Structure 1
Amino acid sequence: MLKQSADKRRIEKNDKPFFYLADTVWSAFTNIDLTDWSYYLKVRKEQGFNVLQINILPQWDRSVLKKIQEPFGISEGFFDLKAKNEAYFKHAEKMLEMAVNQGFTPALVLLWCNYIPETWGAKFGTSPLFRKEDIKPYTEMMLEHFEQFKPIYIISGDTDFPTETVTDYYLEALETISKKAPHALKVLHICGRLKDIPVNLQTHPALDLYFYQSGHNSEHQSMAYTLAEHFSQLEPIKPVINSEPCYELMGYSRQKYGRFSREDVRKAAWQSVLSGAIAGISYGAHGIWSWHEEGSTFGSALGEGFVSPFNWRQALHFEGATDYAFLKSFILANDLTTLAPINLVLNQTPEIRAAETEKVVIIYVPSNVPIYLKGQFVSLDDYAIDLEQGKKVSLAKILHEEKTEIQMTPFLKDSLYVIHK
């Protein structure tokens, strides 16, 4: 069973630190057959992932190869809960049974924003909606199907909160989960770059985590650390996770030319966890989240307008996944789950991020330059890791009055510095 730590900043499993490392596979229930699912689970388990983020309902911007099963009938633009497709949920249950047997925790989205009236996603008019009076019975129905798998419940998906109506929908779902599954972790997945959650949701005692989304806009990648700082300073304190950083080889949003590289997504991850989002991180590969097959179509005109994904078989082996797995293993192996941001770096850029425990300072250096730190750090055991090649070198330092200069390493890309106090 997952729960908050005593200080409310981390997640624990069986009273031991649990670092949430999720892969994003929103379209699993509609797009993946059991043979491919088995192979996918094998690969992600070997890499070290422990959470799978899945949309219970059809992902509106998924890749499309053939007609899918719908979870419910549709009448006059709304879901008809009385016309439930039992085969849809039987398939979903089998997928989750396989995942849980491999050691994964499901993180299930109840209500992606396109199904909720008045959200930004609903305005496209491509999806059926929920009536407000159906939210409680729908949520109870999902509990009957999925509570056996002990999931994390993600109440919303990619949502904004433009009206009280929207907030009320999510409150109804949150409170229903709270009454029926009080020990399950509950969280909101919010749209890119959003930081303001309605106070009656943000302070609700049933909301256990803060998710944020630094997103896929190439001009706003600083949100990885600025939103981590914001959410980690909110009251009440809750564990913070960047649940949607830029996805590997996703095109830039707004149809801007370019794709996010392995180095880009690695940078977003380290900048997040060292800036207050220490409870975990989510990874996404462009081709996995939408489950893109040979011959699939992809709606590049939908939402933020992303270019076509790669085939899922190729995307499954993007190298950024191993970088995220290394981040998790490094945090746990070095007892770093208590890292807290520290204002230590004197270089005139916010891109270099630093956090500390009682024993060490961890610094993420995106580009190889001399680093200047407040205070003097004299340990001969300090070292740097090349985050792409995995090489390790000792750090050369020059001590100045009240500051330490760390000389350049031989690394060509981003690196992690480990400084002993």
Structure 2
Amino acid sequence: MYKSIFLLLLSICIWQPDFAQKNQPAASVRLQNLSIPKDSHYIMQEDGKPFFWLGDTAWELFHWLTFEEAEFYLQNRASKGFNVIQSVALAEFDGLTQPDQQGQLPLINNDPTKPNELYFQHVEKVIDKANQLGLYIGLLPTWGDKFNKKWGVGPEIFTPENAKTYGAYLGKKFKNKKIIWILGGDRSPENETHIKIIEAMAAGIKEAVGDAQIISYHPMGASYSSKYFHKENWLNVNMFQSGHGEKNSKNYLMIRNDYNLFPPKPTLDGEPRYEDHPVNWKPELGYFNDFDTRQAAYWAVLSGACGHTYGCHDIWQFFNFDKNPPVSVARTNWKIAVDFPGAFQMGYLKKFIESLPWTALVPDQSVIKNENPEDAGYQVSAFSQNKDLLIAYTPYGRSLKIDLNQFSARSLTAYWFNPRDATKVKIGKIKNDKVTEFKPYAAGPETDWILVITDATKPWAK
């Protein structure tokens, strides 16, 4: 227990490991096939190691960028530790009628059974580059307005019959690539025809790829894939979209919804509040910043997510005022926005989590004994099944009172992890015999911290 903040500042040792260093990608990386262990909440690699999904939304990647621009973007994301790039084959913004940067349209006469090979050769080239850099492509076969024009450009071109043909084409073409399939495209099915279209597209893909590639579904804002497809065998990973409407939107509640379903499946927030996006699409309310992205990420991961998807408002649309008008009051050129602080901090999150046995963690709020109002400073925690590792997140730097009696280990050690810059602040050895207060040395709005308490004998405690 701390005697005073002053004494803490005198006694702590601050060190900065290589969390904050750029991860330089190898010239070529061998990616592994991914699968879901039975009744688990995480994704597994071939070598038996867990796969922590760290995604970025690059919806217009194939449509708006030249290959050279795509390569620049992919190298940037690989260097920051991202491993999934979520992109769309039939893009949202006039994706059927406005050619890509190579002058090609994706379909002949807007017919899903007649794909334009020249267009998909470019898609394949970008996928190959991503795979070489250690990035899986989270490939959306189409944006949702092509089967459910609730808003947007459309037109609706899919039927159950041609959806299966199109899915089979993509599956055969990309079956040897490192792809995570993501159906939907910011749409939830609203009638039986929509359901049949999605199921047919999934069937076409599965017939071509078997179990070598996993499939998820990207619904519209404030909705879940699990609402429609949780018990479908083709759906391997649940996804929800907490969206861009509110500051401090409680995405941990959406994680909990999926986490408690049967049978268990991994889940994640596939489109949270974007960095540099106007709050609720209204610039007068301000723009989401790096704290908003961190808060969404740590709330989700410590509530049981299998990873997280970051997003930047300027990047998903690859905003460049000289080439395309801003969508929803975008304000920063994408080549500048790729280095916003939130993107670096997502890499810190991934490296931090992967340094610990994170798949053994279970969401557990019972160890937090202080008052914990569900406001912007709401604290979340995860406790290992063996009761030897606790990770707790305090978004506003409020003190945490932790019940150390629940630990199985006799000797404990603790530290603070700073999610802004990836530094650690040592607390030191503590006893597991009472409720103890842990107080960060700085607090206030947007001053978030992660408390780690662990068995002092474990290798990750060193």
The whole-number CA distance in structure 2 between the counterparts of 1:48 and 1:165 is 39
The reply on whether 1:354 has 2:389 as its aligned counterpart is: no
Pick aligned residue for 2:223 from 179, 194, 208: 194
> What per-residue deviation string (whole Å, max 9, x for no partner) do you get for residues 360-382 of structure 1?
10001101222223344785621
> What per-residue deviation string (whole Å, max 9, x for no partner) do you get for residues 138-189 of structure 1?
1111123222213111121111222122111111112222222221101111
Matching of residues 231-242 of structure 1 within 5 Å:
231-242=258-269
Q: Which segments of 5 or more consecutive residues in structure 1 lack a partner in the other structure?
A: 301-305
Matching of residues 325-340 of structure 1 within 5 Å:
325-340=347-362
The whole-number CA distance in structure 2 between the counterparts of 1:411 and 1:392 is 16
Partner of 2:368: 345
The reply on whether 1:416 has 2:439 as its aligned counterpart is: no
Matching of residues 11-410 of structure 1 within 5 Å:
11-14=43-46, 15-60=48-93, 69-74=104-109, 79-81=110-112, 83-116=114-147, 119=148, 122-124=149-151, 126-132=153-159, 133-183=161-211, 184-195=213-224, 197-199=226-228, 201-219=229-247, 221-222=249-250, 224-255=251-282, 257-277=285-305, 279-298=306-325, 300=327, 306-343=328-365, 344-346=367-369, 347-350=371-374, 351-357=378-384, 358=386, 359-376=388-405, 381-395=413-427, 403-410=435-442
- Kept in 1, the 8 Å contact 2:167–2:201? The answer is yes
Q: Which segments of 5 or more consecutive residues in structure 2 lack a partner in the other structure?
A: 1-32, 456-462
- Kept in 1, the 8 Å contact 2:440–2:449? The answer is no
- Kept in 2, the 8 Å contact 1:397–1:404? The answer is no
How far off its partner does 1:404 sit?
2.2
How far off its partner does 1:12 sit?
1.2
Moved more, 344-353 or 230-239: 344-353
Residue identity over aligned pairs, in percent, reads 28
Distance 1:65 1:416, change over 3 A: farther
The whole-number CA distance in structure 2 between the counterparts of 1:13 and 1:397 is 35
- Kept in 2, the 8 Å contact 1:65–1:293? The answer is no
Local SS of the residue matching 1:383:
strand
The whole-number CA distance in structure 2 between the counterparts of 1:18 and 1:249 is 28
> What per-residue deviation string (whole Å, max 9, x for no partner) do you get for residues 35-54 of structure 1?
12222222211111111111
The whole-number CA distance in structure 2 between the counterparts of 1:299 and 1:313 is 14
- Kept in 2, the 8 Å contact 1:40–1:316? The answer is yes
The whole-number CA distance in structure 1 between the counterparts of 2:177 and 2:295 is 33
Structure 1 residue identity aligned to 2:441:
T
Structure 2 residue identity aligned to 1:38:
E
Distance 1:13 1:125, change over 3 A: closer
- Kept in 1, the 8 Å contact 2:94–2:153? The answer is no
The whole-number CA distance in structure 1 between the counterparts of 2:39 and 2:356 is 19
Distance 1:136 1:354, change over 3 A: same
State TM-score, norm by structure 2. Answer: 0.81
Distance 1:235 1:307, change over 3 A: same
Distance 1:94 1:400, change over 3 A: closer
The whole-number CA distance in structure 2 between the counterparts of 1:180 and 1:166 is 22
The whole-number CA distance in structure 1 between the counterparts of 2:430 and 2:52 is 35
The whole-number CA distance in structure 2 between the counterparts of 1:258 and 1:332 is 33
> What per-residue deviation string (whole Å, max 9, x for no partner) do you get for residues 234-255 of structure 1?
1111111111111111112343
Structure 2 residue identity aligned to 1:93:
E
Distance 1:381 1:352, change over 3 A: same
Number of aligned residue pairs? 404
Partner of 1:303: none
The whole-number CA distance in structure 1 between the counterparts of 2:279 and 2:227 is 29
The whole-number CA distance in structure 2 between the counterparts of 1:206 and 1:380 is 43
- Kept in 1, the 8 Å contact 2:146–2:158? The answer is no
Local SS of the residue matching 2:315:
coil
How far off its partner does 1:129 sit?
1.6
> What per-residue deviation string (whole Å, max 9, x for no partner) do you get for residues 235-281 of structure 1?
1111111111111111123435311110110110000000111x111
Structure 1 residue identity aligned to 2:245:
N
The whole-number CA distance in structure 1 between the counterparts of 2:100 and 2:131 is 28
- Kept in 2, the 8 Å contact 1:60–1:114? The answer is no
The whole-number CA distance in structure 1 between the counterparts of 2:99 and 2:338 is 18
- Kept in 1, the 8 Å contact 2:273–2:311? The answer is yes
How far off its partner does 1:127 sit?
1.6
Local SS of the residue matching 1:96:
helix
RMSD: 2.6
> What per-residue deviation string (whole Å, max 9, x for no partner) do you get for residues 393-417 of structure 1?
2349999995222234235510100
The whole-number CA distance in structure 1 between the counterparts of 2:422 and 2:207 is 47
Moved more, 9-18 or 189-198: 189-198
- Kept in 2, the 8 Å contact 1:323–1:387? The answer is yes
The whole-number CA distance in structure 2 between the counterparts of 1:58 and 1:159 is 13
The whole-number CA distance in structure 2 between the counterparts of 1:82 and 1:145 is 14
- Kept in 1, the 8 Å contact 2:413–2:429? The answer is no
